Structures are given as structure tokens and as C-alpha cells.
Structure 1
Amino acid sequence: MKGALRLVYPPQCLCCGAPVGQEGGLCPACWREAEFIQASCCSRCGVPLPGDGLSDEVDAAAGLLVCDDCLAVQRPWLRGRAALVYRGTGRKLALMLKHGDRLDLAPALGDWVARAALPLVRPEMLVVPVPLHLRRLLKRKYNQAEMLSRAVARAHALPHEPRLLRRIRHTPMQDHGSAGDRFANLDGALAVPARMAPRVQGRAVLLVDDVMASGATLAAAAEALRAAGSGPVSVVVLARAVKDT
């Protein structure tokens, strides 16, 4: 049956729809524009580091590479990873999932995020998506972070807690403004409901989102988890924004 379906509906590139050899793949053109983040990256935020990363600072306590931004800004999470750089194919796919109603992308993109998360996984850690405010959820109909986090939890056989965090204040989109504006925008916007607090007590948490730019949204989420008594928090995203060089 699958063979017959492929004759009628051959696999298509996730990004542009061109024919490809297998489901969930990219065509050569989109592959060239897809910047998958490899081992040489900041251990805190997942941003790719040039070359072998030896020119960047090393966290002496952990023996991990840390970028300049994470040296300057205290992150309320322990470690972070990203699957792709947020430009080229990575940006297109993130926007298609977030704003283009391309829910069919979630399984493949979720698998990419799950692979990126592998160094962060601990036994029995909770997988938690960054939540949307109810107003935005009603408009969009789905939370793209939750779709990715579900795939991550499934891939690593971890408990999925999509209701552990809640947005208690509606905030403007984070697409514009300075880093300071973004952090101020999210201040106090997320919380762990009192009835959910016992589920997070002392538990390691893996936070999942679609894109990290300044890290303000993930910081607000991590701070809310820590305030509720969580154990160490790590973060993973589909795409990591980088500074223009």
C-alpha cells in the first residue's frame, strides 16, 4: 500500500515541495541552505561557534564551551541546544510551522529537535513546551512548541507535561525590539499553576521551543520552573538566531 501511495504521491522536500528520495527529507537546494548545528556550539544556548571553538571561553567548572553572550548574560537554565541556525532553510521551516499551518512538518522537525536534545537528556526528566497565551492559542489553534516537545518526549521515552507552564499575561510578539525590551516584555508572564507545582518538585526539566533569539522567553519559562521548585532546567529549540557577521 505504501509503495502504491508513493507512486501517486512521491515524497516531497519539507521546505519547497520538490521531489526527494524519502519522506521527511530536503532537496539538494534546501539542504545547502540548511545549517544544522554540530558539536562545536555554546553549551548554554546552542549557538554555533566558529572552527573548533577553541577561541571561545571554557566554563572551568563544567569543561564546556560558552559563547560571549552567555558569559555576559546569566542564563537561568543549565545547558542548551538547537537543531538549526535560524536563517535559510531553518528560518523558512520554523515560519512554516509557526505561521503557515504546516502541521505536517512537526514529525520530521520534532525528530531533528530530539536529536539535538540528546546530550541534555536525563532519566525521567520532564519535557515541557513553552506555552502560548490562551488568546493566541485560540487564534492559531495549536502550539508549535508543544508539537515539537511531544516528538522529543516520545523519542526519548520521557514524560510529557504540556500543561506544566502557563502564560498568565498576554504579551506582544517578540519579533521586534531590543534584547532589553524582550526581557521586560516577558517579566512575570509565565508561571507554574499551584496545582501543578508538586509534579515539578526536584525534577529535571527539558524546555522546548521553536526559536531562540535573545533567550527572553526561555529565561522567563526557566525562572518560573525554578520558582516552583524544579531541578536543573535545560533548553532545546528547533532554530537558533545568530548575529550577522
Structure 2
Amino acid sequence: MFQSALRLIYPPRCVSCGEMVDRDFALCAACWGQMDFIAGLVCDCCGTPLPGEDSGTPEYCDDCLARPRPWSHGRAALLYRDKARKMVLSFKHADRTELARPAAEWMLRAGRPILTPGMVVAPVPLHRWRLLRRRYNQAALLSAGVAEGAGFVHWPDLLIRPRKTRVQEGMGAEERFANLSGAIAVHPRYRERLRGRTVLLVDDVMTSGATLSVAAEACLAAGAEDVRVLVLARVAKAP
């Protein structure tokens, strides 16, 4: 009764434009149609869309062929452009933390082919000073939703940033990799527990893959058997 009354006062609204919808944390039909959800044939390593039909054989994009990744498989829910880009930026910089719930659902749908039983989920970390300024780690909110939805263990503090790095916006791929060298490590309390485990690394956006590469390398160096990555949005061109 209380919930019904509450819905009359505060009906569910689209998380993008504010139009009324039939359930909480949903997109209206118009906004859904404007979101670039990734489907069909994708790069098995980073999730970027590829031309052609999915034959069941792993395919790889030019970026992943040119720079082999330390992780084995990866997926992305959205292309980082237009309405999806605006939503990600609102989530990241404008305190729109409620977006983590639908975003985690979209990521789980995209990531199903790379999930394996018993894997642990962990976010890409923020340096403590950046976390203090922003007040939340958007990757940790996403990883919590993914772990809960998939029924996996969540280790939100598996990785740490022992040193601060420059903001990477505007940097080329080589600059990004150099900027992040040695910037991410496994927290000491997990070094023994990580051995032999498969890790699902979660982040909001993948551009060059530099941050995820450094994070994956840290996990593997600490004894993880395999690392896979799942992101909300991928910077890439549509096929």
C-alpha cells in the first residue's frame, strides 16, 4: 500500500531525460533508441564492435592485434559517444550515482559470454586524493552491481594506487601507458588469496586500455590465474 502511494507521488522516471517510465532505474523508449548498445560481432578482447557476423570464433580488433592485452577476454556495454557519453560523464562527475544500477545490468548482459564460475570482481581503483575529492569511485559502484547481479565475490579494495597520476584526458596511447606505469598494485591483504583466481576487472570507460592493462598486470603478478575486463563504455568507432 505504501509503495503504491509512493509511486503515485513519485512515479518512475527515465534515468536519462526524466520522462515517466513503467519501472525504476529504466530508460524511456526514446532514450533507449538513442543509446549505442554494443551487439553482434565484437572483439573478444575489448568488446569493440566489428563488421561481419558472429561465427562463434574469437575475432580481434586492430588495437588488440597491435598491442596484445594482458587480460584474456573483455566486453563493453555501450559505445562512448552522444547520449551514452553524456550519461557516463554525469555518472562520473555529477553525483548521478543512481545510474550505477541500470549500468550494471547493461554490463552484465554484455559480459555474460566471458563470465566463469568462481571469479572475483574488482574495480579499477582511484588514488585516495581523487577519491576524497570525488567522494565515490564510479568503477566500484559498477563492480558492486555486477558482482551482486552475477552472484560473485566482490573485492572492492583488491587494487590500490600507491602514487597519483596525471589526468589522462587528451593523452595519446603511449602517454597513457607511461603515465600509469607502476601506478596500480594489489593490496597486501589479497596477495595470498588471489593466487589461482580469475579476476573480472570493472571500469566505466576503456579508451586505450592502459589503465586496465596496468591493473591486469598487477593481478597476474600477484598470482591470479586469469583476468577478464568488463566496462560500461568503449571509445571506438561503430563497424
Coarse TM-score class (shorter-chain normalised): over 0.9
**Deviation for aligned residue 1:73:** 0.7
In structure 2, relative to structure 1, the CA distance for the partners of 1:152 and 1:244 (3 Å cut) is: closer
Q: Deviations over 1:87-128 (max 9, x none)?
A: 122112211111010111111111111222211111111101
Distance in 1 of aligned mates of 2:121 and 2:68: 22
160, 167, 174: which is aligned to 1:173?
A: 167
In structure 1, the gaps of 5 or more residues are 55-61
**1:143 matches 2:137:** yes
- Count, aligned residues: 238
**1:31 matches 2:32:** yes
- Residue of structure 2 equivalent to 1:162: 156
- Residue of structure 2 equivalent to 1:218: 212
- In the TM superposition, structure 1's runs of 4+ consecutive aligned residues that sit over 6 Å from their partners are none
- Residue of structure 1 equivalent to 2:23: 22
RMSD after superposition: 1.6
AA at the equivalent of 1:153? A
Distance in 2 of aligned mates of 1:32 and 1:159: 33
190, 200, 224: which is aligned to 1:196?
A: 190
Partner SS, residue 133 of structure 2: helix
**Deviation for aligned residue 1:35:** 0.9
| TM-score, L = length of structure 2 | 0.94
Partner SS, residue 29 of structure 1: helix
**Deviation for aligned residue 1:53:** 6.0
Partner SS, residue 121 of structure 2: strand
Partner SS, residue 64 of structure 1: coil
Distance in 2 of aligned mates of 1:168 and 1:72: 29
- Residue of structure 2 equivalent to 1:119: 113
**Deviation for aligned residue 1:151:** 0.7
CA contact (8 A) 1:35 1:85 kept: yes
CA contact (8 A) 1:15 1:92 kept: no
**Deviation for aligned residue 1:174:** 1.7
218, 229, 242: which is aligned to 2:236?
A: 242
**Deviation for aligned residue 1:32:** 2.2
76, 94, 105: which is aligned to 1:100?
A: 94
44, 68, 72: which is aligned to 1:74?
A: 68
Percent of residue pairs identical? 52
Distance in 2 of aligned mates of 1:120 and 1:53: 15
In structure 2, relative to structure 1, the CA distance for the partners of 1:124 and 1:244 (3 Å cut) is: closer
Distance in 2 of aligned mates of 1:88 and 1:155: 27
When structure 1 is superposed on structure 2, of 192-201 and 98-107 the one drifting more is: 192-201
- Residue of structure 2 equivalent to 1:6: 7
